[in-house]
Structure 1
C-alpha cells in the first residue's frame, strides 16, 4: 500500500515559523486594575488596540487561581484578543484550556522569546521564504538580496540580517542580532529577538511600521517625524529605544 499523500487533496499543511506576538505581563490579577490601566493605554495609543492578539504572561503572579475569564473579558472589551497564557500552576493551565486558549510553559529561553512589547513565538524550524536571489549565510547571519515584499517574512535566527534592498509595507524582517536594510524600511523590523540588548537596526530610509530591539519597540506614530525618510540607527540606551540619524 502506498502511503504517498496527494497534495492536491490536502486541506492544510503544518509549517514552522516565527510570529511576532505581544506579551502582556501581568503584575496584578485584579481585573479592575487591569481595566483601569488598559483604558488609559487605549486613550494614548488607540491604533495599537485594534484586535491585537496577546499572550497573557502570569509568571510574576504568585496565585494558584486567577479570574482568567474576567481578565480575558477586560482585554476583549479593549480590543485585545487573548490567544494564550504563559506560566502559572496547573489550575491556571486547565483554566486556559477550558477557555479555548493555548498555554506556554514559563519562559526558559527555549520556546517563547519575550520581547516585552513584542515577542517572537517559535513554533518550529524556520521555513524558507521565496526570494528573488538565493540568500547567503556567514557566521550564523544572513544576506538577503532583493525587495522583501508585503506579506513576506525574512529571518536570521542565529545572527545578523542584511537586506540589500527595500522592505515593503506589510513585510517583516527579524534577526537574533542586528538588522541592516540598505534601502527603504517600510515594514516591521525586529532585532535581538532572543533578547540581545546589544543588537540594533540600521536603515537607509526610515518609514517603518514597527521597530523593536530586544523587546523595546516603537510604532510609526511614535517616531519623530523629522527622522522619517532619513538614514538612522536604532539602539537601546538605558532600556529605552533610541533612534538617531546617520546622516
Structure 2
C-alpha cells in the first residue's frame, strides 16, 4: 500500500448546494436571449451581474449546433452573466457540453427519458385552474419525505440555507445578501431582506410566508420577482407569496 502524502492539502474540495440560475431556452435566438438578460442585469445588477447561469435546452425541438451555442454563450457573457454549465440531457447535449468546454449539471435536468433517448415530449397543457381569492388564507404546504428544517440563528449576508425535500422555517431574520431555499414552503418569522426561493424543484404549490417583507428577490418554482417589481406598499409588512396560473402573487397578510 502506498503511504499517505505527508503534507497539507492546498485546497479542500466540497460539494454542496449553490445558488445558480437556470435559463431554460424556449426560442433559440441568441441576440434576443442576450438582450433579455442584459435588461435583467440592468434592472437588478446586485442580483444578476456576473451571476452563474446553467443553460437548459430541454424546451427546444432540437439540440443547438456548436456555432449557435457558442453565440449564445458569448452573448450572455457580454450581457453580464456567466454561463457555467449545461443542464444534463441527451447524448447530443453531452457532446455539445464537451465541445463548449462546459460541465453538465444533473441538478437542473428536466424530465428527460433515461439513457440516450431524446427528451420526453411535453405534456399536454392542463386546463387553467380556477383563480384563487386575491389574498387567500395562509396554507402551509409541506414537501414529502422529511419533517421541516428549522433555522434558529439569523441567516447573514453570504450564507445560504437549503431545505431539501421539505419546508423551511426561519425563526430569525434573513439578512441582505443571504439566501434561503426549500423544495417546500418557507416560513420566516423575522425580517426577509435577502432572497427566498420556495418550490426549488418545481413544486408550484409551495409558498413563502414572511413577518417583515423587504426582500431582494422571492421565487416560487422558478417564477421570481426582484425588489424593483415588488409594490412599495408591501415593504415592511407581513406577506405571503404564491403562484397562481403561472403568475407570482404577493399579498399582505391580515
TM-score range, shorter chain: 0.7 to 0.9
Does 1:172 find its partner at 2:179? yes
Hey, what's the Cα distance between the residues in 1 that align with 2:176 and 2:233?
20
Q: Taking structure 1 as the reference length, what is the TM-score of the superposition? A: 0.77
Q: Which has the higher contact order (CA 8 A, sep 6+)?
A: 1
Query: Is residue 65–residue 91 contact of structure 1 (8 Å, CA) maintained in 2?
Result: no
Residue 100 to residue 222, structure 1, CA distance change in 2 (3 Å): same
Farther-moved stretch of structure 1 (29-38 vs 200-209): 29-38
Hey, what's the Cα distance between the residues in 2 that align with 1:43 and 1:21?
15
Query: Is residue 41–residue 49 contact of structure 2 (8 Å, CA) maintained in 1?
Result: no
Query: Is residue 200–residue 234 contact of structure 1 (8 Å, CA) maintained in 2?
Result: yes
Give 3-state SS (helix, strand or coil) of 1:244's partner.
strand
Query: Is residue 89–residue 110 contact of structure 2 (8 Å, CA) maintained in 1?
Result: no
Shift of 1:179: 0.6
Query: Is residue 191–residue 212 contact of structure 1 (8 Å, CA) maintained in 2?
Result: yes
Can you list the C-alpha shifts for 1:157-188, whole angstroms capped at 9, x where unaligned? 12111111111111111111111111101111
User: Structure 1: which 4+ aligned runs deviate by more than 4 Å?
Assistant: 1-6, 35-39
Query: Is residue 190–residue 211 contact of structure 2 (8 Å, CA) maintained in 1?
Result: yes
Give 3-state SS (helix, strand or coil) of 1:85's partner.
strand
Structure 1 equivalent of residue 80 of structure 2: 79
Q: Taking structure 2 as the reference length, what is the TM-score of the superposition? A: 0.75
Hey, what's the Cα distance between the residues in 2 that align with 1:169 and 1:84?
27
Unaligned runs of 5+ in 2: 113-144
Unaligned runs of 5+ in 1: 110-137
Give 3-state SS (helix, strand or coil) of 1:18's partner.
coil
Aligned Cα root-mean-square deviation (Å): 2.7
Query: Is residue 64–residue 88 contact of structure 1 (8 Å, CA) maintained in 2?
Result: no
Hey, what's the Cα distance between the residues in 2 that align with 1:43 and 1:173?
21
Structure 1 equivalent of residue 110 of structure 2: 107
